[in-house]
Amino acid sequence: MKHKVFAQRLFLMATVMSTLLFVSNFNISNAQTEEEEATHSEETNVVRDSQTVLLEGKTLAANDFIHIYDTTPYIIMNGHVAAKLPCDENSESPIKILIGAAPNLTAADFELLSELSTPGTACLYHVDLASDHNGNASATITDIAIQNPTQDDVSFGPSSSVVVGINEIMKGTHEAHGEGAEHAEGEGAEHAEGEGAEHAEGEEPAEEAADDTGNE
């Protein structure tokens, strides 16, 4: 009888311990999930911004560009660009779409949508936008521009356009702007200290000046 009661108690204790262990693991899992969601929420903002730039009838001068989108100081984490541009018989366009963080912009690697293109007239291209989550400056996107890298002016025909869609952004520091600000603050502080020191050395104390005048 004693052995039976003892066995029942052991079984009950094991059941309680298993339940407590399950509840503890469940709470830890939920806490980790909530922490990850909170961190993601703090770092990024889900947005849906879309901008259409109509180019029909416009001319882009040789070796010139048009800056069409800027999210500074926010970084574009997820987005998309579609552009209908003049193209030759091989579906190649002289116009480039530049992406990056100004002034470090590079030509995007566009994919041709042949079903919606007319070689020799206008072609539709598109590309996904995604910055490096680790803040890699070389893979950061804040700016989008249209560039004509050729030696001739390019005129845009009917329905030429660029559509920019932004889905997610993350707050960040624009390095170029930050360096400029630090440089300006440093120069300003040094300039102010230098002027203050020179001004203080050049002035005589008021009492001494008054005494000198009286003695004369």
Q: Can you give the chain as a three-state secondary structure string?
A: CHHHHHHHHHHHHHHHHHHHHHHHHHHHHHHHHHHHHHHHHHHEEEEEEEEEEECCCCEECCCEEEEEEECCCEEEEEEEEEEEEECCCCCCCCCEEEEEECCEEEECCCEECHHHCECCCEEEEEEEECCCCCCCHHHCCCEEEEEECCCCCEECCCCCEEEEEEEEEEECCCHHHHHHHHHHHHHHHHHHHHHHHHHHHHCCCHHHHHHHHHHC
Average pLDDT over residues 66-78: 95
Residue 184 confidence (pLDDT) above 50: no
| Higher-confidence position of 30 and 149 | 149
pLDDT, mean over the chain: 76
Q: Does a structural domain hold residue 210?
A: no
Instruction: Determine, yes or no, domain membership for 116.
Output: yes
More confident of the two residues 206 and 111: 111
| Position 56 pLDDT exceeds 50 | yes
pLDDT tens string 189-208:
444 445 444 444 444 444 44
- Note the pLDDT of residue 29: 52
What's the pLDDT score for residue 19? 59
Mean pLDDT of 155-169: 96
CA atoms within 13 A on the CB side of 167: 9
Does 19 map to a domain?
no
Residue 5's pLDDT is what? Answer: 56
Report the domain count for the chain: 1
pLDDT grade for 186, boundaries at 50, 70 and 90: very low
Asked if the structure places residue 198 within a domain, the reply is no
For residue 199, tell me if it sits in a domain: no
Residue 50 has pLDDT above 70, yes or no: yes
121 within a domain of the structure (yes/no): yes
Whether residue 118 is contained in a domain is answered as yes
Give me the domain span that covers residue 48: 44-174
Residue 152 pLDDT > 90, yes or no? yes
User: Which amino acid, residue 194?
Assistant: G
Decide if 11 is inside a domain: no
Tell me, what CATH number does 68's domain have? 2.60.120
pLDDT surpasses 90 at 128: yes
- pLDDT value at 81 more than 80: yes
- Average the pLDDT over 21-25 and give the result: 55
Q: What confidence category does residue 168 fall into, taking pLDDT thresholds of 50, 70 and 90?
A: very high
Which pLDDT score is estimated for 160? Answer: 97
